[in-house]
Amino acid sequence: MTFTGFIGTVCMFPLRAIIRACVVLRIHPNVLTFVGVLINLIAAWALATGRFVTAGGIMIAANIFDFIDGKVAREMGMESAFGGFWDSVMDRFSDLALFLGLVYLYSSVHRTDYVVITVMAMIFTVLTSYARARAESVVAKCKVGFMERPERIVLFMIGAFTNRMAAVLWVILVLSILTVADRIFYTWRELERAKAPERVPV
Amino acid sequence: MTLPNEDEIQLHNEIAGAGTGLPQPLRAVWRTLYWTYERATWQYDLMVIAILAFVWLTPPSWIGDPHAGGLGPIGWLTAWLRG
């Protein structure tokens, strides 16, 4: 088992109990998604006021809701197309709220350079998910690139808990740019391949 | 756990650019930039280690971090070497 696989397995133990509790209490998965967003807004406020450790703790709570909603829906047999759509839209909102908190923080200390870096990271975060959504309307699957939402959220937490948010923003920015480029290249290649005439065996 | 079939492996290799004829070191760079690996693979672990090293080891002053305090491990080391 890999290191990250091991961490994932360990984290799943408490999460399974929470999922079970939500199923027993019959909490609607869309409500869980919405509660996660509300908690993320509080995390964004904590980031905006420079309380990184508090923000990190709140982000953990918010992302538990965010992580379990799909699994609760599956266990309750309540998976729906709207649920998936609602979850995606709310995820983008949560992401942007966190970035907005950082924009507020850096502008309040007159750090235009980091305002620009945060806004650029925000732009490429949106483009990452948009590129995949748009690509998957023309090709079967577009899951290339490293920087997806779980990676981004874990990085935000690491930055918050260890007070290294600036370095985290650089990582998110660079890897998000690469992810968008990967998705554009992958989609172009897949479409070119689909256009090519089928090889006829000689 | 199901093993990928031959078609999936070929598709992965094609997508990863294995067939582009690049020499080995360049192919490794290409595969790092053009990321096609799943989570919980050794390549993913390596990337995570590289990211954490950058985040935790880079002295905050090098990137002008407005909030981080302290020198960071590399900063301490360079300060110690300078005496």
Kindly state the DSSP code that residue A76 receives in the 8-state scheme. Answer: T
According to the model, what pLDDT value does residue A197 have? Answer: 66
Residue B1's pLDDT is 47
ipTM for the predicted complex comes to 0.89
The two structure tokens encoding residue B68 = 């981080």
Which one of B57, B65, B71, B74 would you mutate to disrupt binding with A, by most A Cβ within 10 Å of its Cβ? B65
* Per-residue model confidence (pLDDT) at position A74: 92
Report chain B residues whose CB lies below 8 A from the CB of A152: none
Test B35 with A179 for CB contact under 8 angstroms: yes
The verdict on a CB contact (< 8 Å) between A3 and B63 is no
- Give the count of beta carbons closer than 10 Å to the beta carbon of residue B5: 9
CB–CB contact A162 B64 (8 Å): no
Cα separation, A41 vs A48, in Å, equals 10
User: What sign does the CA torsion over A56, A7, A87, A184 have?
Assistant: positive
DSSP-derived secondary structure letter, B58: S
User: Do B41 and A2 count as a contact with CB atoms less than 8 A apart?
Assistant: yes
Contact yes or no for A4 and B45 at CB 8 A: yes
Q: Are A176 and A169 in contact (CB under 8 A)?
A: no
Residues (pLDDT < 50) of chain A are none
Q: Name the minimum distance, in Å, from the CA of B82 to any CA of chain A.
A: 24
Residues 6+ apart with CB under 8 A from A121: A99, A169, A172, A173, A176
**Chain A residues bordering chain B (beta-carbon distance below 8 Å):** 1-5, 8, 50, 52, 105-106, 109, 111, 113-114, 144-146, 150, 155, 158-159, 162-168, 170-171, 175, 178-179, 182, 185-186, 189
Report yes or no: A99 and A121 within 8 Å, Cβ to Cβ.
yes
pLDDT at A200: 56
Q: What is the pLDDT of residue B19?
A: 56
Give B64's DSSP letter. T
Contact A56, A157 (CB under 8 A): yes
Helix-helix angle B72-82:B42-57, to 10 degrees: 50
Yes or no, beta carbons of B55 and A109 under 8 Å apart: no
**Chain A partners within 8 Å of B68 (Cβ):** 163-167
pLDDT tens by residue, chain B, 83 residues: 455 666 666 666 666 565 567 788 888 899 999 999 999 899 999 999 999 999 999 989 899 999 887 766 777 777 888 87
Question: Look-up: residue for tokens 């290339």?
Answer: A144
pLDDT per position as a tens digit, A100-145? 999 999 999 999 999 999 999 999 999 999 999 999 999 999 999 9
Q: Is B47 on the interface with A (CB under 8 A)?
A: yes
Kindly state whether B82 is in contact with chain A, defined as any CB-CB distance less than 8 angstroms: no
CA distance B83 to chain A (A): 26
B55 interfaces chain A, CB cutoff of 8 Å: yes
CA distance A188 to B60: 39
B55 contacts A164 by C-beta, under 8 angstroms: yes
Hey, are the CB atoms on B54 and A146 less than 8 Å from each other? no
Residues A25, B65 contacting (CB under 8 angstroms): no
Sequence-ordered list of residues with C-beta below 8 angstroms from that of B40, at least 6 positions apart, any chain: A1, A2, A4, A5, A8
Q: Which of A86, A55, A62, A65 is nearest to A15 (CA)?
A: A65
What phi, psi does A50 have (nearest 5°)? 80, 10
Please state, in angstroms and rounded to a whole number, the distance separating the CA atoms of residues A147 and A129.
10
- Rg of chain B's alpha carbons, rounded to an integer? 19
B17 vs A: CB within 8 A: no
> Using an 8 Å Cβ cutoff, are A122 and A99 in contact?
yes
Contacts of A52 in chain B (CB under 8 A): 67
Q: Are B52 and B73 in contact (CB under 8 A)?
A: no
